[in-house]
Structure 1
Amino acid sequence: MSVFSSFGGSTVEQTGGGPVVVSERRSEPRLLDRKFGSKAFLLGLLQSGSGKYSKPIGGHLKRAFDLLVALAAVVALSPLLCLIAVSLRLATGGPVIYRHRRVGYGGRSFDCLKFRTMVTDGDAVLEQYLKDNPLAAEEWRRTRKLTRDPRVTELGYFLRKTSLDELPQLFNILRGDMSCVGPRPVVVEELERYGELAHDYCGARPGVTGLWQISGRSLASYEERVQLDSEYLRKWSFARDISILVRTLPAVLKIEQAA
């Protein structure tokens, strides 16, 4: 029986191949369409997956590669990192780095780092905007993104379009929170929508890039992003990680596909 039966009364399946195996998986998993208490959901998920997460997908080879790539990138890009940090401080004031809690390997939460692209009172601005714009509220409910996000600054818009806002995640890789390639880092509320595929997600470190990054980025629907994460995790190989990394830069240069 799936852990999700204890929450919703029926087995449901579905944004997470790898050594992690999920039992009773259907050929066409479904996304969860009910909302549960986040803490209860994650606790149940981890209890049901006890013993499945002895090591992240890719093991020591993937981790060694991550460290090598991240360290080299930090050294090579340090002038750019400093330039962006100074520009943000001068243009907007306030903190340069934005920290957001995400779910990582084994269901552990961590601070996902990004250059700050929004106004400092972003939560309040978003709440009011969604109250005043029903269509935007529906878009946010479906995709967790907004075509026109009132929180994003002009400099932040540029950083997002070029994916430069994600460069601080190199330090997440060095700390062991993330990998160069993996599923998208999500919050607990999003993980609830993965159904049984949440087990797969928790068996890997989230990635700075992944199949979603090279397959349409923000043009993909939420369900498509979930399926891309699942495909990556189920068919993981070191060679595929290299392929995704090589294909990431051309994908990033397609500005129109950025979030």
Structure 2
Amino acid sequence: MFRVDPKKAFEDHSSRNPASGDARLSDSAERIISAPVERTLSGAVIAGIAQIIEAVLLALLGYGIHLAYVEPRHDEFYIPVILASVLIANIAFNAVRSHRIAAYRTAIPQMGRVLGAWVGVMLILTVGLFFFKAGDMVSRVWLLSWFVSGAALLVIYRQILRGLVLRWTAQGRLKRRTVIVGGGDDAAVLIDQIKAGAEKDINLLGLFDDRVGERSPDMVSGYEKLGKVSELIEFARRTPVDLVIVSMPLSAEKRVLDMLTQLWVLPVDIRLSAHMSKLRFTEKAYSYVGELPVLDMADRPISDWHLVFKWVFDKTVALTALILLSPIMIMAAIAIKLESKGPVFFVQNRHGFNNELIRIYKFRSMRTDMLDNDAAKLVTKDDPRVTRVGKFIRRTSIDELPQIFNVLKGELSVVGPRPHALQAKAANQLYYEAVEGYFARHRVKPGMTGWAQINGWRGETDTIDKIMQRVNHDLYYIEHWSILFDLYIVLMTPLRLFTSENAY
């Protein structure tokens, strides 16, 4: 995969605030933004779930025939044989590429691949039993019955799956919202290829190109040029964009790098269309959107199954934390109410995923008459605005516990870059003005805790170096994310709370 160098992009990225909305988009772009967007489904997740269901059905069928026919029941032998056969079957189905959305849409080709793989699995099983001299331990009636009924099950299951996929395709729920970077004749060729091989997988919104005139007309093969590449950032902030396909040759290295440097802050997949390259790579070098071959340049940091795993992790940890920490939260609420008048909670707007505005909850730590709703002034040591209870809950991060509700609402993750106040400053500069590429940290959901926090970069950010260290740690987390990484940060968070010197 081609990757933009985060450090270089961090230094070179345009300083315009991508969240400010100061870019005026074209009327065509505004029309697309204002149109309703239906939630789409992940093809990778559908294929994964389809494989699990298929494997479970085959295993249950094999064991059910065994229970109904074989006497005595040799579970200790049949169960491992069934499980091993199902595992080999899953490998075989993937080897013949039958677990893809494009394959699910077909009828005869899909059945041919699946049944051919199933015959191969049964041959492997039969040969294996022969070589291991285990033929006497297996009922031939069971083997033949599982083979025949398994084939029938696969045909029925795949027809049901095909019907569902065709239905979702007709509804447009499997199409990825896509824009093309580039224009002119090269983009026209790419659009023709999309119509021929990926029309069911791509909802093409339009094109973005910095060139003008005859080299890049305003209309290409029926699709409008929506703006310049820099305006794509604002466009993708205001309406969902899943995929960016770049219609540029590899030889145009400077244009490609300039484009990547601008777009790396967005949570989108970026692909280079293979039709622009005169080089021909091996089949494994390409990935596919439908039947369209592309070269991977950048991936959305957390997507498909990773998004599912993180969702489960967030909800599990948040619910567990809510149960275990509720006594502390209740005592904090009582202490806040007893010390000063005013609400227990403090609600503030902050930037969430892809710069979406969210309202986060905190325990109030300041005097009501001195609240700083915009966080225009950083809290410093012995700040007179902070109450006695506030000093304690801020230092121990108890004030952040109500954000558990933000996690349960899906606005925050347990682990991720911390959401900063909109007007937060370092050395009298707004964060996004002080640090180039600042908004790249919003390619994932913000979190209650993060890699920067457990490394000591929490609390006061009175210098540009401190906020740069935070952002650098956030970008490292995004590039190296895993569930185990999240678990490590969660376990280390309470240990690091009492060693931090910057939280006031």
TM range (shorter): 0.7 to 0.9
User: How far apart are residue 41 of structure 1 and its match?
Assistant: 5.5
2:325 maps to which of 35, 57, 77: 77
- What residue identity is the alignment partner of 1:184? R
Aligned in 2, Cα 1:56/1:186: closer, same or farther, shift over 3 Å?
farther
User: How far apart are residue 227 of structure 1 and its match?
Assistant: 0.9
C-alpha RMSD of the superposition = 3.4
Give me the whole-angstrom Cα distance separating, in 2, the residues matched to 1:41 and 1:229. 26
Aligned in 2, Cα 1:23/1:66: closer, same or farther, shift over 3 Å?
same
Aligned partner of 2:441 in structure 1 is 201
Give me the whole-angstrom Cα distance separating, in 2, the residues matched to 1:31 and 1:146. 32
Give me the whole-angstrom Cα distance separating, in 1, the residues matched to 2:449 and 2:468. 18
SS at match of 1:117: coil
User: How far apart are residue 46 of structure 1 and its match?
Assistant: 3.9
Aligned in 2, Cα 1:53/1:97: closer, same or farther, shift over 3 Å?
same
2:489 maps to which of 240, 244, 248: 244
Give me the whole-angstrom Cα distance separating, in 2, the residues matched to 1:242 and 1:91. 36
User: How far apart are residue 145 of structure 1 and its match?
Assistant: 4.4
- Is the Cα–Cα contact under 8 Å of residues 102 and 110 in structure 1 kept in the other structure? yes
- Is the Cα–Cα contact under 8 Å of residues 56 and 105 in structure 1 kept in the other structure? no
2:409 maps to which of 148, 161, 175: 175
Aligned in 2, Cα 1:75/1:191: closer, same or farther, shift over 3 Å?
same
User: Are 2:235 and 1:47 equivalent residues in the alignment?
Assistant: yes
Give me the whole-angstrom Cα distance separating, in 2, the residues matched to 1:125 and 1:46. 26
2:479 maps to which of 220, 229, 234: 234
Give me the whole-angstrom Cα distance separating, in 2, the residues matched to 1:59 and 1:73. 21
Deviations 1:91-134 (A, max 9, x none): 1121000001011112211111110000112257999xx9xxxx
SS at match of 1:121: helix
Aligned partner of 1:13 in structure 2 is none
Equivalences for residues 117-196 of structure 1 within 5 A: 117-123=365-371, 144-189=378-423, 190=430, 192-193=432-433, 194-196=435-437
Give me the whole-angstrom Cα distance separating, in 1, the residues matched to 2:384 and 2:6. 40
Aligned partner of 1:212 in structure 2 is 452
User: Are 2:11 and 1:30 equivalent residues in the alignment?
Assistant: yes
Aligned in 2, Cα 1:123/1:214: closer, same or farther, shift over 3 Å?
same
- Is the Cα–Cα contact under 8 Å of residues 46 and 106 in structure 1 kept in the other structure? no
RCO comparison, higher one (Cα < 8 Å, 6+): 1
- Is the Cα–Cα contact under 8 Å of residues 21 and 234 in structure 2 kept in the other structure? no
Aligned in 2, Cα 1:109/1:88: closer, same or farther, shift over 3 Å?
same
SS at match of 2:501: helix
- Is the Cα–Cα contact under 8 Å of residues 41 and 192 in structure 1 kept in the other structure? no
SS at match of 2:348: strand
- Is the Cα–Cα contact under 8 Å of residues 212 and 225 in structure 1 kept in the other structure? yes
User: How far apart are residue 30 of structure 1 and its match?
Assistant: 3.4
Structure 2, unaligned stretches of length 5 or more?
25-230, 243-265, 269-299, 424-429
Give me the whole-angstrom Cα distance separating, in 2, the residues matched to 1:72 and 1:84. 19
Aligned in 2, Cα 1:31/1:225: closer, same or farther, shift over 3 Å?
farther
Give me the whole-angstrom Cα distance separating, in 2, the residues matched to 1:184 and 1:126. 16
Q: How many residues align?
A: 225
Q: Please identify, of 148-157 and 64-73, the stretch whose mean Cα deviation from structure 2 is larger.
A: 148-157
TM-score by length of 1: 0.74
User: How far apart are residue 152 of structure 1 and its match?
Assistant: 0.7
User: How far apart are residue 197 of structure 1 and its match?
Assistant: 4.5
Question: What is the percentage of aligned positions where both structures have the same residue?
Answer: 31
- Is the Cα–Cα contact under 8 Å of residues 102 and 112 in structure 1 kept in the other structure? yes
Q: Please identify, of 204-213 and 47-56, the stretch whose mean Cα deviation from structure 2 is larger.
A: 47-56
- What residue identity is the alignment partner of 1:228? H
User: Are 2:360 and 1:112 equivalent residues in the alignment?
Assistant: yes
Give me the whole-angstrom Cα distance separating, in 1, the residues matched to 2:12 and 2:432. 9
Give me the whole-angstrom Cα distance separating, in 1, the residues matched to 2:350 and 2:372. 20
Give me the whole-angstrom Cα distance separating, in 1, the residues matched to 2:494 and 2:473. 18
Aligned partner of 1:94 in structure 2 is 342
SS at match of 1:202: helix
- Is the Cα–Cα contact under 8 Å of residues 32 and 192 in structure 1 kept in the other structure? no
Aligned partner of 1:7 in structure 2 is none
Larger CA Rg, structure 1 vs 2: 2
Aligned in 2, Cα 1:163/1:37: closer, same or farther, shift over 3 Å?
same
